Amino acid sequence: MSFKVINPATGEQIRTIPAWDETEIESALTEVAAATPAWAATPMAERCALMGKAGEVLRRNIETYAATISEEMGKLIKDARAEVEKCATVCDFYAENGPKFLADEKLASDASDSYVAYLPLGTVLAVMPWNYPFWQVMRFAAPALVAGNTGVLKHASNVPQCALALEQVFSEAGFPTGVFRSLMIRASQVKKVIEDPRIHAVTLTGSEPAGRQVAATAGGVLKKCVLELGGSDAFIVLEDADLDEAAKWAVASRFLNSGQSCIAAKRFILVDAIAEDFLSRFKAGVEALQAGDPMDENTSLAPMAREDLRDELHEQVSKSLAAGAVALTGCQPLERPGAYYAASILDRVEPGMLAYDNELFGPVAIVIRARDEEDALRIANDSPYGLGGSVWTRDARRGAALARRMESGSTFVNGMVKSDPRLPFGGIKNSGYGRELSRHGIQEFVNVKTIWVK
């Protein structure tokens, strides 16, 4: 068994990497278990210093890592560089703020002294996706390792080179052997690793079905779990919005990473008063995107990560068109080698259509018409998902009031939804539970321990 590295831009297989057998898995888990107590006992200042060095390694090798990302999953090279830089930023953030976030918290009680200590849990298993193959891993690893946990990674099978590169980042930064390991295993082997007593907690970013499976397994052995799952983010445009600004960010929010992002805007909910004016601007921006080689700095539309994902997307689009949706532009694969799909707008989407109820993970924007603000809110909340969302209006107070009523883990007013180390990130409903990033993220995988002294 092996992992095949296929370039999404060409469809060519460029490398194979052997998958591990049970002996190799056992060896790695033994190594991590041996490293865990000493790493937990390492002073916070030393852990933070090493995380800062990890950021330096990322920046020093940014071109190499960016090329690996582009080669494996098709990301535009300029976006791959930005992803690596963002990873370095999250290392810096926790290196600087870890001591503050995990400082003992004094609480009044009947004791002479009572306080909460934030102590590491042990080893955290991360099951991570391919769409942001460095960022998704580092936003878990930076806080988890600074908190004194060790980490093991089960990465997506189509980005094995990224998995190995991430292990190399921590090794080159000087982290002790066994503090972070990439497990070259198949999805079918994850259950056994979760159940292994040397694993103490699990975090997953991925699909809803995968999240349900991982949560069920972790729950069966009573291990803490954080899930960041799919999203179908609403992008509400009200009648008083700046339509030029909204349309510009609509293109960026939907088509960044070829639309393969959980927090990409997916449902464009337009009040009737401005729907046509907005769509004329949005359509022009979408049709200006240029598909091409992701290593070309001028390319603005990347291929999808795999041809099977492109084919699945087209099936979703085709069924929605058959149910009465309208292809405003695109809505078909591009006739060229690789996993390319046209930048698309699917208009007149209504309840009962596949595109209305499901996440379309690719370069397709769906448009839903609303009568007014209240109808737009109803539509936004009429979703099994609740990851992010945005509101576009010239009235910031109006936007903030509407944002509070949207059922999501985050809502941005006049801005594109994004993850930021300074802000907690995560969802509700079928988008998962728990939080990453900020103070909230580093406190997910710790023992919030009460100390009472008389």
Note whether 2-229+431-453 and 233-420 share their fold. Answer: no
pLDDT per residue as tens digits for the range 316-352: 999 999 999 999 999 999 999 999 999 999 999 999 9
Pair 235, 414: CB distance under 8 Å: no
pLDDT per residue as tens digits for the range 89-141: 999 999 999 999 999 999 999 999 999 999 999 999 999 999 999 999 999 99
Tell the residue number behind the tokens 């890592």, with chain if given: 65
Say which DSSP state 196 is in.
S
Per-residue pLDDT at 12: 96
Helices 160-173 and 135-146: crossing angle in degrees, nearest 10, is: 30
Helix (H) or strand (E) holding 326: strand 326-329
**What share of residues in the chain are helix, strand, coil (percent, to 5)?**
45, 20, 35
Pair 167, 180: CB distance under 8 Å: yes
Active-site positions? 228, 262
Q: Where are the domains of the chain?
A: 2-229+431-453, 233-420
pLDDT per residue as tens digits for the range 62-72: 999 999 999 99
pLDDT at 419 over 90: yes
Choices 3.40.309.10, 3.40.50.720, 1.10.1740.10, 3.40.605.10: CATH for 233-420: 3.40.309.10
* Rounded average pLDDT over 142-161: 98
pLDDT per residue as tens digits for the range 44-80: 999 999 999 999 999 999 999 999 999 999 999 999 9
Q: What is the mean pLDDT of the chain?
A: 98
Per-residue pLDDT at 354: 96
| Radius of gyration of the chain measured on its C-alpha atoms | 22
Per-residue pLDDT at 169: 98
pLDDT per residue as tens digits for the range 162-215: 999 999 999 999 999 999 999 999 999 999 999 999 999 999 999 999 999 999
Say which DSSP state 175 is in.
P
Whole-number percent of the chain with pLDDT over 90:
100
Residue 435 banded pLDDT, cuts 50, 70, 90 = very high
Residue 1 banded pLDDT, cuts 50, 70, 90 = confident
Fold of 2-229+431-453: Aldehyde Dehydrogenase; Chain A, domain 1 (3.40.605)
Per-residue pLDDT at 3: 95
Per-residue pLDDT at 444: 98
